[in-house]
Structure 1
Amino acid sequence: MNAPWKSGGGNGRDQFAAYICDEASLDVLRPVAMEMGWQPEKCNKGGLRNAVQSLSITASPNILLVDLSESGDPLNDINALAEVCEPGTIVVAVGQVNDVRLYRDLLASGIHDYLLKPLSPGQLRDSLSQAQAVFASPKNHDASAAKEHISTAVIGTRGGTGASTLATSLAWLFSADDKLSTALLDLDIHFGTGALCLDLEPGRGLTDAIENPSRIDGLFIERAMIRANDNLSILSAEAPINSPLMTDGTAFIQLEEEFRQAFDMTVIDMPRNMLINFPQLMGDVNVVVLAAELTLASARDTIRMLSWLKANAPQARVIVVANKVQANLAEISRSDFEASIETDIDVLIPYDIKAASMAAKLGQTFVDANRSSKAAGAMRDLARKVSEREADASASGKKSLLGKLDFKSMMSKAKKAEPAE
């Protein structure tokens, strides 16, 4: 419905329609609609189910006001409404249930606003005016202000390196601080924590996409993704652990393509096994954030993954991150780690268990819950490195990290620089 990445205007559809259950609310609504230049005949008697029936055979309006008072399962019924609404429709709901959780769930599902009965003219006027402003505002993908899309894969070299924490934090920073429309795709289908970190229910969007790749289009993306804030939407899953992942990867490729069309940024939380099973997923990734720890095992796997990326994703700019670093307790030193992987660590993020616990308790991303911590500051530095455009990199003489590595030359120089015994 009212996703921020959908365009509108000049589409030949009605400007407004309403489906309201009771006459008292209609009596309040009709004068407001006339005041805003809309036809009072578009204020129909009947609630959400009547709206679904009507819109299944006619085009949906630019702004839709719908009554949930007679709905026994508002969230499920809203999904049915999304099936028949045109992309870009701004939906305002009204109802009698005063529940904060319902309000948040409705907003997350794509509703623009939720108004409580009894309705007042001022309340209606303000909400509908805001909906009108959202519909008329320039959209992020306007060609006149088009931005290059950046797709970032965050991959942990080992389990527990904090790749998911980095992925959710990066997505949050792009959306909240940089005001970029951002998609977060959590590809840990059975045990993903992307939605959990944002205190959201993952929904069935990702599992539906895997089961029916042919359904994936702009409207499916709009309906299936869960809104975390005005600019951030997430696609995640908690598939039953007795259900194996049955896919050839087609759904993931199609999702990536739709994200490129709909968002400024894509952040993919990519488990290591996805590289093995679906190497084609890396074909259009611009940046790879390789999350490592200062351990021998992580150093070994960083070497292996750098080599794999050089062969399978040569177009990607690789950023090596040492995460959860404890200065005096590291298994191997930073210099030894860098010597073993034959390149520098780009970002070092200190270990902060108190900050991580605080984020979990608040149901927020790490950077949102701990903006003043050193670890969050390092994550902001990482976000700036990720968002560097290819043009900026080439202008400063930079190439992709793997493209500029010459292991033999580096080792030769290092040996020459060693002091004679």
Structure 2
Amino acid sequence: MTGPSKKTERETFAAYCCDEATIDLLKAAAPSRGWSENMVFSGGIAGAVRALGAMPCPEFLIVDLSDSEDPRADVQALAEVCEEGTVVLTIGALNDVGLYRDLLHAGVHDYLVKPLAVDVIKAAMHSAEEAMNAVEEVEEEGPASEGKTIFFIGVRGGMGTSTLAANTAWLSANGGESTALLDLDFHFSSSAIQFDLEPGRGLLDALDNPNRVDGLFLDRAVVKPSEKLSILCTEAAIGVVPRPAEGALEHLVDTMANTYRNVVVDMPRHMVPEQPEVLNTATDIVLITDLSLSSARDCIRLKAYLKTCAPAASVHVVLNKLGAVPAEVEEKDFANSIETEINARVPFDAKAMLLAVQQGTVIADHTKSGKVTAGMKAVNSLFTSGSENADGQKPSWVNKLLQRKAS
């Protein structure tokens, strides 16, 4: 078959496959979305690169990597002939978690492994259509802050890390940006209960079966306190130790980052040495601390460790629950010892916390003003400015690939 003729306007959909069975499958699935089966072609990713060098790129593109000797390099070549906002679904014969993760890191919407079924393809097409609609909404809304993936880590227990993560997620969502809160405390999660909700089983399913995780999966797995805020957490039975499949956490966070504008991750500190790879997905890492000697020591150790496992992330230090206990170290001396300035300060307010719990919500929702809410807003403001593209929009998968090449 030959490729589509050059047009002045973008097609909605096109696919480039390596075998007749896949061509027949996509031709059967495309009409379910109102797309033409005549936009399914042979040639695989090499054919896509050749065809798209001479025509506008469709909004949604399916490319087959089965014949590719170097899929990562071929996807890079594809990025150079694609337009911004293109949603790309890749399919292939290689069941490789490393390749899967690399493609998603690069910004590809998903990677499906053959053999494929019609219902799987239809679900992937539906997910891609939602992604295209999200791109259009961003364009209509105009300038917005770049999406963030923010990890909250308490340098010690009892720092109020989960409370601060939940409030930051609520403030982000209340500001109009779609936000997800991911709680990685598998046994004693408090994210859902802070909003008077029950957690689901979706997180455990995501860790056991990472290949199932996509936008549709997340939509079913999360609980939603509000239209813009989604929470993914679990309460695993005590004595049961969830062991994520290789690459499952990284894939989960990457998929959430492609589905929501901002992702807030509440990560227990014991997971830092156990799952260092997932920290490489972070744009920002917040270390929650108090003014104690042991906290100063652990801040220094964690900062040094994060330089190796998350070198690209911005690290912020936040003093939380100030006034709850006497400070062992003056703030100035604390900052000098960890060689980092304090980025935000949140005072302790037992009354505000109690009232929020009684109302089944977070402090920033119940108490709109006051010092504690002001402190939480200061934390949220660390991630809401100074991180835009020239046009203020979240980078497309094409830009992400080209930036990786440039680096």
SS in 1 for 2:346: strand
Counterparts of 2:169 and 2:295 in 1: how far apart (Å)? 24
Q: Does 1:187 align with 2:200?
A: no
In the other structure, the counterpart of 1:175 is 173
One-letter amino acid of the counterpart of residue 216, structure 1: V
Q: Does 1:221 align with 2:218?
A: yes
Name the TM-score, length of structure 2 as normaliser. Answer: 0.61
Q: Among residues 194, 201, 206, which one is paired with 1:204 in the alignment?
A: 201
Q: Deviations over 1:272-320 (max 9, x none)?
A: 1221111000112101111001111111111111111122211111111
- Contact 1:249 1:278 survives alignment (8 Å): no
SS at match of 2:235: coil
Determine which structure has greater relative contact order: mean sequence separation of CA pairs < 8 Å that are 6+ residues apart, divided by chain length.
2
Does structure 1 residue 230 correspond to structure 2 residue 227?
yes
Cα displacement string for residues 107-145 of structure 1 (whole angstroms, at most 9, x for unaligned residues): xxxxxxxxxxxxxxxxxxxxxxxxxxxx9x964664635
Amino acid at match of 1:173: L
Q: Residues 276-295 of structure 1 correspond to what in structure 2 (within 5 A)?
A: 276-295=273-292
* Identity within the alignment, %: 37
Correspondence for 1:160:
158
User: Does residue 1:242 correspond to 2:239, yes or no?
Assistant: yes
Task: After TM superposition, give the deviation of residue 193 of structure 1 in Å.
Answer: 0.5
* Conservation of the 8 A alpha-carbon contact between 2:250 and 2:281: no
Provide structure 1 residue ranges, at least 5 long, that are not aligned to the other structure: 1-8, 16-82, 90-134, 393-421
Determine helix, strand or coil for the equivalent of 2:151.
strand
Shift of 1:219: 1.5
For the structure 1 residues 141 and 297, does the alpha-carbon distance in structure 2 shift closer, same or farther, using more than 3 Å as the test?
farther
SS at match of 2:265: strand
1:317 maps to 314
Query: What SS class does the counterpart of residue 168 from structure 1 fall into?
Result: helix
CA distance in 1, matches of 2:284, 2:339: 19
- SS of equivalent to 1:387: coil
Partner in structure 2 of residue 404 of structure 1 = none
Contact 1:140 1:146 in 2 (8 A): no
Going from structure 1 to structure 2, the CA distance change for 1:383 and 1:240 (only over 3 Å counts) comes to: same
The answer as to 2:365 corresponding to 1:368 is: yes
Q: Distance in 1 between matches of 2:173 and 2:224?
A: 11
- Kindly state the Cα deviation for residue 245 of structure 1 after the two structures are TM-superposed: 2.1
Render the CA deviation track for 1:327-382: whole Å, top value 9, x for unaligned: 98222221121121122111111111111111211111121122212011011111
CA contact (8 A) 1:140 1:181 kept: no
Deviation of residue 213 (structure 1)?
A: 1.8
Q: Which residue matches 2:350?
A: 353
Distance 2:152 2:376 in 1: 13
Residues 278 and 327 (structure 1), Cα distance of their counterparts in 2 relative to 1, 3 Å cut: closer
State the Cα RMSD in Å: 2.9
The answer to whether the 8 A contact 2:288-2:318 is kept is yes
Higher alpha-carbon Rg: 1
- TM-score when scaled to structure 1? 0.59
Q: Which amino acid aligns with 2:277?
A: Q
1:390 aligns with 2:387: yes
Are 2:184 and 2:233, in contact at CA under 8 Å, matched by a contact in 1? yes
